[in-house]
């Protein structure tokens, strides 16, 4: 079971994804739409290894979808595999679609 926590701010959002009862703040990335070209998104890893577990890629996809700055933290317990990660991403994008006011 994974927790997804959302902190909505004025012009940005922070998402934390971590395993239930094993929450840790191990990796963080930030991404935002390019001010000169709204279809382009830029991002970087703030905490953790540069090649990390995919936080930067997901932050960039979320920033493009939400059209705002996104901070994304992934706990080390969240695997970067073909089963768990896509299901977590689907849950987040479904939540955005159904509850945009929370983002």
Domain boundaries, the chain: 2-102
CATH no. of 2-102: 3.30.230.100
Q: Residue 56 is inside which H or E element, if any?
A: helix 55-66
pLDDT score at 24: 81
How far, in Å, CA of 34 to CA of 43, rounded?
Answer: 10
* Section 53-67 average pLDDT: 92
Highest mean pLDDT among 30-39, 44-53, 79-88: 30-39
What is the model's pTM?
A: 0.89
Question: Per DSSP, what are the bridge partners of residue 4?
Answer: 17
pLDDT score at 25: 81
């Amino acid at each position: 079971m994974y927790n997804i926590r959302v902190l909505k701010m004025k012009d940005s959002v922070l998402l934390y994804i971590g395993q239930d009862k094993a929450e840790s703040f191990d990796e963080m990335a930030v991404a935002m739409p390019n001010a000169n070209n709204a279809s382009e998104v830029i991002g970087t890893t703030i905490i953790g290894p540069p090649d990390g577990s995919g936080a930067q890629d997901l932050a960039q996809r979320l920033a493009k979808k939400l059209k705002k700055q996104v901070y994304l933290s992934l706990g080390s317990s969240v695997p970067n595999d073909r089963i768990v990660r896509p299901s977590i991403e689907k849950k987040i994008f479904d939540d955005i679609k159904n509850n945009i006011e929370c983002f």
